[in-house]
Structure formats: C-alpha cells, structure tokens
Amino acid sequence: MHRCGTNELAAEFATHRQSNNGENELAISTVNASIRVLRRVLKIALEWEVIDRMPKIKIRPGENHREHVVTKQEEIAYLAAAETCKGRTGCERGPTLLSDVGTVLINTGLRPEENNRMDWDWINWDNGNNGTFLVKCGKTKAARRQLYMTESVREILERGWETAGKPRQGWVWPAETRSGHIEPHTVKKQHRKALALSKVRPFVLYSLRHTFLTRLGDETGNVYKVMMAAEHSSVAVSQRYIHLHADSIQDAMERLGGYKTGYKPQKRRLKRKPVKPVNRVLSIA
C-alpha cells in the first residue's frame, strides 16, 4: 500500500485502465470512474494512516458529460410514447412507471438514484402550493434538501400514495429487486422503446435532471437557486446551467437605473446670459 501512494504508480494505473490490457480502449468516463474509486481508497488509507500523503491523481480530459438538453417538443413526444409502453403488448395507453418517473425527474431535477430511493416519509403534502419532499440521501453531503412539487408531480405521487393505501413509510417506487425499490435496469427496456417510438434524439434518464436545471437557470438566472435545487457542492458546477445573453444583461442594467428610489436624472439646462443690444451708428463721411 505504501508503494501505491506515489504519483508515478497512480499515473501508470490510469494509463493501464485506458489501454484495457491491449484490447479495445475504455471510454474516458470509465477510466475516470476508476480514478475516482482509487482516490477514495487512497483518502481512506490516509485517514487510517496507512500512507503518509495523498498522491495527486488528475482526471483524464475529454470526458463526455451528460449535457443533452431535452426540448419541450421532445419531452412531449417521449412521455406520450412512454405511456404506450404499458404491458407486453405495448398497445394500452395510460400512465406507466416510465412516464411517471420521467415526469418526476424532469420537473424536480432529482438524480435517478435519488428518485429510485424516494420514501413516503420524505413527502409533506401541506407545504407550499402543491407540497414538498425532503431528499434525505444523495451523492454528496449537500444532498439533503427540500424540493417543491409541481401539479403534475403531486398528481403522480398522490395517485401512487392512494393506491398503496396512504402509507407513512415505504418505497414510493417499489419493485421486485434485491433493494425493494426500482433500479436503473427496471425501466431500461421501456426507455429504449419510448425513444424508438418517439423518434427523438437518444438520451439517458440523467439528461432529464440536466434539462430541469438548464430550464431553472434560464428562468431565474440565479446560480445559487440552481445550486440549492441541484445540491451541488460548488458554485462552479452550477454555473454551467446559467446562460446569460446580451439582452438579459441589458434588461437587468436598465432595471437597476434608479433602483427603489424612483430617481431619474433630469436634463440640465444651460443658462444663457442675456445678450445686450448693440447700437451701431452709421457714419457717413
């Protein structure tokens, strides 16, 4: 373990993972995932005093981020196709697990894994206009946050709550899995089918979170609101969702003119001195 705590061996590990033992090279995102695991292991080793210092391990550049933004037309087409995926025949139209999950993700900005682990004790039906729910688990320490429900989200969750017998606790999305709730593979086939039927650009379910945060950033222009809704641990991450345009900056600056005072500068009039008439005498020689 002491030899693993060197920068050289860490760099060799990243190169080895990318080469994949001489076979097809792994994607940059896969290599970076392994590097993040190694970072975590070394951090624990440092805390346990197995190593005396933390080596610097850089993430490989060129990773493709999930920055696909679903348009409103694509959202409508996808959710309509998702409703046709009910049952094996794929002919029955109505709310499905995929359409419900997709609607919740694109209207709350939850990560798919956070949504999968949603519990009924997270929900407060009386807060706000349509109720709220408190996210109690997530990726970082900032994951614990309160989110407000839209009308469509409340309708979906309330329907499931009443169908389940109005429980106080329990998984919102129960499934016959080892964890007891839905997992990423639960709606994988339905998602593929909905993409094919809707003929929209292919995307992963995580893109629905990115779409929500992008819309929130465009609507508010406030990076801290995006940060609170997304539970980002850094403002720099939330900044990606703020797209300021020249016209929006101009509007903001115009609104700042005379902010709260109502003062408007008046045009200053220059005082002109009166011109005395000059009496000219015409002399004739």
What phi and psi values does residue 147 have, to the nearest 5 degrees?
Answer: -120, 150
**pLDDT, tens digit, for every residue of 39-77?**
888 888 888 988 888 888 887 776 665 578 899 999 999
The mean pLDDT value of the chain amounts to 81
pLDDT of the residue at 9: 73
- Give helix then strand counts, H and E, for the chain: 11, 3
**Of residues 61 and 209, which shows the higher confidence score?**
209
On the CB side of 24, CA atoms within 13 Å amount to 2
Biggest alpha carbon–alpha carbon distance for the chain: 125
pLDDT at residue 162 tops 60: yes
CB 209 within 8 A of CB 238: no
| 101, 273, 274, 280 from 277: Cα distances, Å | 89, 12, 9, 9
Question: pLDDT class for 261, splitting at 50, 70, 90?
Answer: low
Average pLDDT for residues 254-282, to the nearest whole number? 60
CB 186 within 8 A of CB 133: no
Helix, strand, coil percent values for the chain (each to nearest 5):
50, 5, 45
Question: pLDDT class for 105, splitting at 50, 70, 90?
Answer: very high
pLDDT at residue 191 tops 70: yes
pLDDT at residue 228 tops 80: yes
What percentage of the chain carries pLDDT values higher than 70? 74
Beta-sheet strands, E only, within the chain: 123-124, 132-135, 145-148
d(CA 111, CA 103): 13
d(CA 249, CA 14): 43
d(CA 98, CA 197): 14
d(CA 211, CA 66): 10
**pLDDT, tens digit, for every residue of 75-88?**
999 999 998 765 45
pLDDT of the residue at 237: 77
pLDDT at residue 108 tops 50: yes
pLDDT at residue 193 tops 80: yes
On the CB side of 58, CA atoms within 13 Å amount to 6
Q: 34 is written with which tokens? A: 């392994």
pLDDT of the residue at 5: 47
pLDDT of the residue at 205: 94
Average pLDDT for residues 192-204, to the nearest whole number? 94
DSSP per-residue codes, 133-145: EEE---SSGGG-E
Model-wide pTM > 0.75: no
Grouping H, G, I as helix, E, B as strand and the rest as coil, residue 174 is strand
pLDDT of the residue at 30: 82
| Domains and their CATH numbers in the chain | 3-47 (no CATH), 72-241 (1.10.443.10)
Q: Which of 5-9, 100-104, 111-115, 262-266 has the lowest mean pLDDT?
A: 262-266
**Of residues 146 and 90, which shows the higher confidence score?**
146
Question: pLDDT class for 141, splitting at 50, 70, 90?
Answer: low
**pLDDT, tens digit, for every residue of 13-27?**
777 777 766 566 777
Give the count of beta carbons closer than 10 Å to the beta carbon of residue 187: 26
